[in-house]
Amino acid sequence: MPTIDRILEEQARIAGIAIEELESEQSIVYLVDASLRLIYCNPAWDQFAIRNNGDGLQWNRPRGSGLLEAIATPLRPFYEEGFRKVRETGETWEHNFECSSSELYRVYHMQVRPLEATGGFIVINSLLVETPHGEDREAMPGVADLYLGQEDIVTMCSHCRRTRTSDGSQRWDWVPRYLEAPPERVSHGLCTSCVGYFYP
């Protein structure tokens, strides 16, 4: 079995990518192989993970692990389909997604480009918006009774990270507290507006 470093070296060489340049790139850049296993993440990835430590993000992924497993279940079909299209058409896929913290509203612009020589992909996430949350996100205190569902599971949106009320009303609230310290048992869903965004 060739080591990850060996595979990376080989893929970068074939695809004509200068890893040294990615090392100093501000955008979060990563490479995956043809089976969507992470083979390289640049330092911007790590810095992002450190800055957001405690936000419950799944960024602590060792190289060699599957990218799709790092994506919340409700969003997997969307990303699978996106990568499939890039592979099929050879065209770059562009998509904007939210990656907010409790304090900051952030939107990233994602580009997925095929590495045709290797069957892998390079993914570039550039910060598009970073601003304090607006008034449309009234911070709710996170009174447990309002959000604890069956078996004490709290359901949060995989994308905007709002929390679903457990009264069956399908209302999704902005509860910053749950981003800072995720509830013990979280289930990932998609709120009504994000469902429409990903699966129109």
- Interface of this chain with Zn ion, residues 101 to 140, rule: CB under 5 A: none
Residue with tokens 């996430």: 125
156 touching Zn ion, by CB under 5 A: no
Give the span between the Cα atoms of 121 and 68, in whole angstroms. 13
CB of 151 to Zn ion, least distance (A): 22
Residue with smaller CB distance to Zn ion, 31 or 157: 157
Task: Decide if residue 159 touches Zn ion (CB under 5 A).
Answer: yes
At closest approach, how far in Å is the CB of 172 from Zn ion?
A: 6
Q: How far is CA 197 from CA 34, 68, 98, 122, 137, in A?
A: 27, 19, 11, 24, 18
Under rule CB under 5 A, how many of the chain's residues touch Zn ion? 5
Residues 169-198 that bind Zn ion (CB under 5 A): 191, 194
CB of 191 to Zn ion, least distance (A): 3
Asked whether 101 and 181 are in contact (CB, 8 A), the reply is no
Q: How far apart are CA 10 and CA 40, in angstroms?
A: 12
What's the Cα-to-Cα distance from 53 to each of 63, 69, 85, 104, 175, rounded to whole Å? Answer: 19, 19, 33, 14, 17
Taking the complex as a whole, how short is the minimal distance between the CB of residue 21 and Zn ion, in angstroms?
Answer: 35
Residue of 157, 164, 175, 179 that binds Zn ion (CB under 5 A): 157
Rule CB under 5 A: which residues touch Zn ion?
Answer: 157, 159-160, 191, 194
